[in-house]
């Protein structure tokens, strides 16, 4: 019997992927989100309420470090496209990068209490910047695997759905584990340190499982060694990629602003920190339903229409959260589910769409640069993450937010929480809707591009795109 690791791209596309490949790929994003979800949901609360860093300072920190993380994504992408090993270009990074990455997560959530404020801020910058660097050299190769495992759009959509299910379930798990600690732990610093160590151990095992069950079947047809100028040209010539990067900035800005203040909304607006787990559950259920619905929906109406409808749904949910009364907990939970469904569809489709833009880029240039392409999208998402976290912190500061232990949140601060949670995200998602409305790469056009690539012709290289 032929070993799976020796299957060619054509054989993989003809036979389809094995079930264990989907499970393994999902496990990789479970590991990713043991760091990603922990930071997106709890780092701002940790900085303001445990480390004693002001909300505005933390917001600026998010912007600076996450833009730095975007730059390290570009470096990682260029490095990965030069990588050649017996295990492939991408998979080795899952093994050798996982332990340092997960150790850095523990350091991020262990700011020494004995340091003066300036020292705590320096520690926060240094550890978060190190984490972002290491995350780039694990997440970029992980994400690039989808374009290398198969060229079939339907299989890529299923891989993206598996990834989204892994991410959503991990976000829920972390909320269930950590939110009671925020509400009740006598020593929150010690509690978070123990939790991040546990996530680190589990994460290493999951990355190894992803490595063992994945196969890089699509080999680059030409060695890509992109310079900074070539990256810029990739964006200017690859219109689908450029539009995907634009919408990635604003969607991640919306998502991270909402995630950064959801705990504040549960604790300080709805009045119970334990409600954060329920809100996260509702959002996760929405994301899981979205991931399950995407393959059939895309088969009927296509990726672009599915994506745009999902953005519209998320905007409606955000606008509801701006105005929902504090006592209407059930309505708030439902609205979180609606937003989760919309964002879930978007996050499921974005990686399938990104993989299609890799094929388009090869079609117009003659080079296949999976890592560079993925890193450009990832850079855009990091910029969005930084923007979202910064805007959330700045809005809280404008509302004169302060740690709430022992006192109620002032009306101005409560309005700031709502603005960061849902007002800003609604505006950002509207921008994403317009960007995707302009997206030109349909399923039919992608099929024609694949046919050209398989026949060895590249009409796009002559400018006729």
Q: Which domain holds residue 143?
A: 14-462
Highest average pLDDT, of 292-296, 319-323, 368-372, 443-447, comes from: 319-323
pLDDT range class, residue 235, cuts 50, 70, 90: low
Could you give the C-alpha distances from 203 to 97, 288, 382, in angstroms and in order?
A: 11, 21, 21
Domain presence at residue 7: no
Structure tokens at 39: 């930071």
Query: In this structure, how many other beta carbons lie within 10 angstroms of the beta carbon of residue 330?
Result: 11
Would the pLDDT of 352 be above 80?
Answer: no
Q: Which of 40-54, 126-140, 292-306 has the lowest mean pLDDT?
A: 292-306
CATH code where residue 175 lies? 1.20.1250.20
Residue 375 to residue 360: CA distance in whole angstroms? 16
| Look-up of token digits 């760091």 | 35
Q: Taking CA 100 as the corner, what is the angle to CA 99 and CA 102, rounded to the nearest 5 degrees?
A: 65
The per-residue pLDDT for 450 is 76
The per-residue pLDDT for 318 is 94
Would the pLDDT of 408 be above 70?
Answer: no
Would the pLDDT of 1 be above 50?
Answer: no
Domain presence at residue 118: yes
Contact 105, 199 (CB under 8 A): yes
Domain presence at residue 143: yes
Q: Which of 235-244, 273-282, 383-392 has the lowest mean pLDDT?
A: 235-244
Residue 340 to residue 288: CA distance in whole angstroms? 9
DSSP 354-394: HHHHHHHHHHHHS---HHHHHHHHHHHHHHHHHHHHHHHHH
Contact 443, 303 (CB under 8 A): yes
Structure tokens at 20: 């264990």
Domain presence at residue 3: no
Structure tokens at 76: 């990682």
pLDDT range class, residue 228, cuts 50, 70, 90: low
The per-residue pLDDT for 67 is 84
DSSP 306-338: HHHHHHHHHHHHHHHHHH--TT-HHHHHHHHHH
The model scores a pTM over 0.75: no
The per-residue pLDDT for 465 is 46
Structure tokens at 106: 């523990």
Higher pLDDT: 13 or 161? It is: 161
Residue 86 to residue 395: CA distance in whole angstroms? 49
Tell me: the pLDDT tens digits for 79-112?
877 777 777 788 888 888 889 999 999 999 999 9
Domain presence at residue 412: yes
pLDDT range class, residue 332, cuts 50, 70, 90: very high
Tell me: the pLDDT tens digits for 186-196?
788 888 999 99
Nearest to 34 by CA among 188, 197, 186: 197
Instruction: Classify 146 in phi/psi space as left (phi over 0), alpha (psi -120 to 50) or beta.
Output: alpha
Percentage of the chain exceeding pLDDT 90 = 22
Residue 346 to residue 326: CA distance in whole angstroms? 28
Would the pLDDT of 464 be above 50?
Answer: no
Would the pLDDT of 324 be above 80?
Answer: yes
Residue 122 to residue 64: CA distance in whole angstroms? 13
Contact 302, 450 (CB under 8 A): no
Neighbouring residues of 190: CB distance < 8 A, sequence distance ≥ 6: none
C-alpha gyration radius of the chain: 21
Residue 427 to residue 343: CA distance in whole angstroms? 14
| Look-up of token digits 């003809």 | 14
Residue 352 to residue 214: CA distance in whole angstroms? 17
Q: Which of 52-56, 66-70, 227-231, 249-253 has the lowest mean pLDDT?
A: 227-231
The per-residue pLDDT for 201 is 93
Count of the separate structural domains present in the chain: 1
The per-residue pLDDT for 209 is 92
Domain presence at residue 6: no
**SS3 for 457?**
coil
**SS3 for 416?**
helix
Tell me: the pLDDT tens digits for 123-136?
999 999 999 999 99
Greatest Cα-to-Cα distance within the chain, rounded to the nearest angstrom:
70
Domain presence at residue 206: yes
Domain presence at residue 2: no
Structure tokens at 289: 């339903």
Tell me: the pLDDT tens digits for 203-223?
999 999 988 887 776 665 554
Structure tokens at 132: 């972002």
Neighbouring residues of 84: CB distance < 8 A, sequence distance ≥ 6: none
The per-residue pLDDT for 333 is 94
Structure tokens at 79: 């490095």
pLDDT range class, residue 199, cuts 50, 70, 90: very high
Please, what is the average pLDDT of the chain? 81
């Amino acid at each position: 019997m032929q070993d799976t690791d020796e299957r060619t791209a054509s054989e993989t596309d003809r036979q389809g992927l094995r079930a264990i490949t989907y499970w393994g790929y999902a496990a990789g994003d479970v590991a990713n989100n043991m760091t990603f979800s922990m930071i997106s949901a709890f780092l701002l609360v940790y900085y303001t309420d445990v480390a004693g860093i002001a909300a505005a300072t933390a917001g600026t920190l998010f912007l600076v470090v996450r833009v730095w993380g975007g730059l390290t994504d570009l470096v990682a992408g260029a490095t990965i496209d030069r990588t050649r090993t017996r295990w492939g270009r991408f998979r080795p990074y899952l093994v050798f990068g996982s332990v340092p990455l997960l150790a850095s997560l523990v350091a991020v959530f262990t700011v020494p209490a004995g340091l003066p404020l300036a020292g705590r801020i320096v520690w926060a910058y240094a550890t978060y910047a190190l984490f972002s660097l290491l995350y780039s050299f694990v997440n970029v190769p992980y994400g690039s695997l989808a374009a290398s495992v198969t060229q079939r759009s339907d299989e890529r959509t299923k891989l993206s759905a598996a990834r989204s299910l892994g991410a959503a379930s991990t976000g829920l798990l972390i909320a269930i584990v950590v939110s009671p600690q925020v509400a009740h732990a006598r020593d929150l610093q010690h509690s978070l340190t123990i939790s991040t160590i546990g996530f680190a151990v589990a994460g290493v095992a999951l990355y190894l499982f992803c490595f063992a069950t994945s196969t890089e079947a699509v080999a680059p047809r030409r060695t890509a060694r992109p310079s900074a100028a070539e990256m810029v040209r990739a964006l200017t010539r690859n219109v689908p990629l450029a539009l995907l990067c634009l919408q990635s900035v604003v969607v991640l800005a919306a998502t991270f602003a909402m995630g950064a203040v959801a705990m504040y909304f549960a604790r300080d607006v709805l009045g119970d920190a334990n409600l954060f787990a329920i809100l996260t559950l509702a959002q996760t259920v929405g994301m899981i339903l979205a991931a399950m619905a995407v393959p059939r929906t895309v088969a009927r109406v296509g990726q672009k229409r599915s994506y745009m409808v999902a953005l519209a749904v998320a905007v409606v949910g955000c606008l509801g959260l701006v105005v929902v009364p504090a006592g209407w907990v059930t309505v708030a939970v439902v609205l979180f589910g609606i937003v989760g469904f919309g964002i879930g569809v978007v996050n499921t489709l974005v990686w399938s769409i990104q993989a299609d833009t890799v094929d388009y880029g090869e079609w117009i240039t003659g080079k296949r640069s999976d890592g560079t392409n993925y890193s450009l999208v990832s850079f855009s998402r990091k910029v969005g993450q930084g923007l979202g976290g910064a805007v959330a912190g700045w809005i809280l500061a404008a509302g004169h937010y302060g740690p709430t232990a022992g006192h109620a949140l002032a009306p101005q601060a409560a309005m700031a929480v709502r603005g960061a949670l849902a007002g800003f995200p609604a505006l950002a998602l509207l921008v994403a809707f317009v960007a995707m409305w302009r997206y030109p790469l349909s399923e039919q056009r992608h099929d024609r591009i694949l046919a050209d690539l398989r026949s060895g012709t590249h009409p796009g290289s002559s400018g006729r795109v």
